[in-house]
Chains A and B, each alone.
Chain A
Amino acid sequence: MKRFGYSPTGVEWAGIALILAVFAMTLMSFLPGGCFGMPSSIPYLPPSSSNFLGTNDIGDDVLAILLQGSRVSLSIGLLGATVSTLFGTVIGVFAGFMGGTVDEALGSITDFFLVVPALPLMILLAAYLGPSFMNVVMVIGLLWWPTTARMVRARARQIRGSPFIEGLMGVGARKPYIMFRHVLPNVWGIVLARFVLAVSSSILLEAGLSFIGLGDPQNPSWGMMLHFAMTRGALLHGAWWTFVPPGICISFSSLGFILIGMGMESRYRSSTKSIGDVS
């Protein structure tokens, strides 16, 4: 339930700019190799004209890896957010609309995931499933839906109580029909805002998992760059170029999504003020 309050659209523009920058990085990563400096035979080479951001512990060009990392972070961010938002929306709508025992049961499950310490559980899950791209997505999706579910539920509950839905029920419309045709479109605003915020969280979570070595080695991400910098002596080498850029990328890409999500949430809030506070 992050209440970020009113945000001017200028902030949203900043968010859009940051996200566009990340997408630009992803596009650039598809350029043929060698555009950004070749791998060197010397590890931990400082930034120079041939390697713009220097080289890492195995002589790879940091810039090239950084661009490639944007693919992983972005795709895991989007996929993880999709899975978690989908989960959260379905559970939220269902719980809010059905009410009663269903609501109670789903509420308990939601509580469980809200209360259980996410990071240790994530580590256990990631270690259990093993590191692979889809598993990282699943771990993030599985643990990041409860807040969405809660918000969607509250909204669905409200809509359920409105005279319009009561009327439809009275006419004898079937519940799944009402849920899909009338409840879902009305929670759309909040779902979208949650999705954008979830992308940002997923990017951070993926980075965290990769940082402690639970990432997918097939798809090196920014978090993994930090992992190898931390475990292969980049600090003692003073090789800041191996860990400052990926950290900036993680922060700014997640910031971009947060800013947009904040804007969307506040706009949504002001548009629904008349109905009452949704939290």
Chain B
Amino acid sequence: MKKNLLVGSIGIAILILAGLGFAAYGGYFSTGSPASNNTQSVTKALTIGTTNIVKTDNFVKDYYMGIFAACFILDPLAAVDQGGSIVPYLVNWSTADSKDWTMTLIRNATWHDGVPVTAEDVAFTITYLKAKDPNYATHFQFVVSAEPLDNRTVVVKLSREWTSFTTGLAATRLIPKHVWANVTDPATYAGSDRNIGCGPFTYGGFDSASGAMTFNANKNYWRGAPVVDKVTLRFYTSTDAMLMALKKGDIAATYAYASGIDPVYVPPLLEEKNVSFIIMPNFGVDNSLWFNCMRYPYNMSEFREAISYALDYNGYVTFIAAGYAKVPTKGWIPDSWDYCVEKPLLAKNASRAASMLDSLGFVDRDSDGWRDFPNGTAFTMKILARSDIALSMRLAELVKRDLENIRIRVQIIPADVSTFQTITQKTKDFDSAISRTTFWGMIMYAGAGTLYFDNRNMGWANVDDPEYHAVVDEILRTANQSRTKELYRRLQDLYATNMYAIPLYWGKIIQPYRSDMVGGLVFDTMYGILGKDTWFSVIVK
């Protein structure tokens, strides 16, 4: 009898547990912000899906929150135009010597809480972010002081000549002094005013568990009220799930910062008659094969060039980019940049690759079918690839096959993002690596991708060539636009002759959207379809 009681009580315990589970779930749903769509006839609402998942709605702490804050609730000091140049947005600037900069507020902006935006805020933003946010500590590393001169003017003094100071301005989202002045650690600040800005939308709210964030139109925006009243971002952990939601009409468009969707998904979407695409050239180099230019034999430009003849670029365009890409030129810089110089196209020439390797002494010395070092020891080229990006692993596999065709033994070293960045940026213990660059990375440092090459900065390619360093240093000093262009040409000559990195394909940014739900999306160089211009031309259907 006693035992029956026990059996019964265990059963009851199980049921209670199950009930608790349901209760917890129900509770979680009822606390989520209710998305009442009853008023849809009056308000124009737009729902956008993204795989850029926000984890916490603090824009200093969370990378993607920083991006979305810049798109919706904050305004940048400077913007980027279609050709990739930095142009004024909230402020204009002038400098005589690239050392002392005068910035003037050129818009009548107000914060969401009604306080007007002043030069105080601009000066505060620069000094505060430099002190508190590691990102800006780099952007503004040479800033000595930023002082308001009057209500609309700020004077910034640098410790040296630095033309890419304006890049920092494009990265800077203006923040209100009256909110942040007393906050010692912005990365953990959770005050309710943490998302006050002067941008076209006010912050609505964030539901982390179900993955949704809302923004409401700011009627007092200095460019006028946005034409859409409410934007909801919906976060997806997989592209498949996001695109299914697009097919069903749960979301009107998809978004991924600086990348768009993996092109392999385009063919199945082409069958959907209501799904259209915004296809834009990518300002980043979609993927390159980076050599560690300080390690033998990758330090020899002839060797790197030989490799470039072994690769089948058309294969990468077909299989990795589903045809939505171009075969790149030797100049590395994509032709979407206005300073791009025409260079010969890269092309496979296996016999040339083989003969170049032969003359370098990389021949099969022990008749095992694989090329060896000139001194006779076995040679294996290791390629570091991102294991958390399926596309990158597949690309590495194709590169491996191409190299094996010219009898180079290849080993793919998979590394997740932390391991990859630690190896390429810190320990530098690698032969070669496959990775992409972003628009943002392309303009940082001296621009034209120098961030990725120069071993004095991030320097995946680990370039210590004094000639290259000299060009970079001069770009950083030069305030003269035409001289800078000349130097960018010079850089591309160096890229083409030295092949520090081989571009594998120049991709496109592909953003699918439902043409029956939304129109008038404008593509911004930096923020894609979520750029500021979209909010004044978008049509919600």
Contact = CB atoms under 8 A, between A and B. Distances in A.
A and B touch in the complex (CB under 8 A): yes
A111 B412 CA distance: 37
A194 interface: no
Given A43-B318, A59-B319, A217-B397, A238 B268 contact: yes
Contacts of B393: 213, 217, 228
Given A228-B390, A236-B268, A43 B414 contact: no
18 contacts: A43-B264, A57-B264, A57-B319, A58-B319, A58-B320, A59-B319, A127-B416, A130-B419, A213-B387, A213-B390, A228-B393, A231-B390, A232-B394, A233-B240, A233-B262, A236-B240, A237-B267, A237-B268
A235 B240 contact: yes
A49 interface: no
Interface residues of B, number: 31
A43 B322 contact: yes
A78 to B, nearest CB: 24
B412 to A, nearest CB: 5
Contact of B387 (A43, A58, A131, A238): A131
A235 B243 CA distance: 11
Main secondary structure of the interface of A (DSSP, over half): loop
Nearest to B415: A130
Interface string A216-252: 0110000000011001110111100000000000000
Contact of B412 (A213, A218, A232): A218
Interface of B: 239-240, 243-244, 262, 264-265, 267-269, 318-320, 322, 385, 387-388, 390-391, 393-394, 396-398, 411-416, 419
Contacts of B264: 43, 57, 232-233
Nearest to B263: A233
A41 B320 CA distance: 12
**Secondary structure dominating the interface of B:** helix
Given A131-B387, A237-B267, A232 B416 contact: no
A59 B312 CA distance: 14
Given A43-B319, A43-B322, A233 B239 contact: yes
A44 B413 CA distance: 26
A58 B398 CA distance: 8
B414 A217 contact: yes
A227 to B, nearest CB: 7
A58 B267 CA distance: 14
Given A43-B319, A217-B393, A217-B397, A236 B388 contact: no
A232 B262 contact: yes
Interface string A31-67: 0000000000101100000000000011100000000
A217 B239 contact: no
A64 to B, nearest CB: 13
Contacts of B391: 232
Among all A-B residue pairs, the 10 with the closest Cβ atoms: A231-B390, A58-B319, A236-B268, A217-B412, A233-B265, A233-B264, A237-B268, A131-B414, A235-B240, A232-B390
Interface string A125-163: 001001100000000000000000000000000000000
A232 B239 CA distance: 9
Nearest to A237: B268
B396 A233 contact: no
Nearest to A41: B318
Contacts of B388: 213
B392 to A, nearest CB: 11
Given A43-B264, A127-B416, A228-B394, 18 more contacts: A43-B322, A57-B319, A58-B394, A58-B398, A59-B318, A213-B387, A213-B390, A217-B385, A217-B396, A217-B414, A227-B390, A228-B393, A232-B264, A233-B268, A235-B240, A236-B240, A236-B244, A236-B269
